[in-house]
Amino acid sequence: MSLDIKIIKKRDYVYSAELAGAIDGESYQQLEEELKEIIDEKTKAVILDMGRVDYISSIGIRVVVWAKKQLQKRNATFAMINLQPQIKKVFEMMKILPMVDIFSNMPEADKYIDQIIKDEIAKKNP
């Protein structure tokens, strides 16, 4: 199975990754490498668009959890959007959903991230 990944820079240090295909034993490293390229100390948010992901294995979930933890260490936001029912069910079964922000679509995720960034700026400039 293959995985297509398209990284989109939405604004400075805010990225979305549009994924299509399977995140499995053959493709997880590709996703991990792409995420390593955009996750650094300046990253503010990463959104995984899972709308065209039709399968995720346990090693694929490990990559998602790894990304979430890397961003959490940096006080950055991690979110997923457009989860297919079978993918959402896997995350629910593994009890991962409470630790990951999930949104129905990109405008909903953008609104959430915009508010977080505004709050961060307000804290720095009271």
CA distance 55 to 88: 10
124-125-126 Cα angle (round to 5): 110
User: What is the pLDDT of the chain when averaged over all its residues?
Assistant: 88
Q: Measured between alpha carbons, how far is residue 53 from residues 11, 33, 105, 113 in Å?
A: 24, 18, 14, 23
**What angle do the packed helices 28-38 and 58-73 form, to 10 degrees?**
10
Kindly tell me if the per-residue pLDDT of 93 is higher than 90. Answer: no
Quick one: which of 28, 45, 121 has its CA closest to 5? Answer: 28
Q: Where are the domains of the chain?
A: 3-124
User: What global pTM score does this model have?
Assistant: 0.84
What is 3-124's CATH number, 2.30.30.90, 3.40.190.10, 3.30.750.24, 2.140.10.10? Answer: 3.30.750.24
* Per-residue pLDDT reduced to its tens digit, 29-79: 999 999 999 999 999 999 999 999 999 998 999 999 999 999 999 989 999
Largest CA distance in the chain: 51
- State mean pLDDT over 84-110: 79
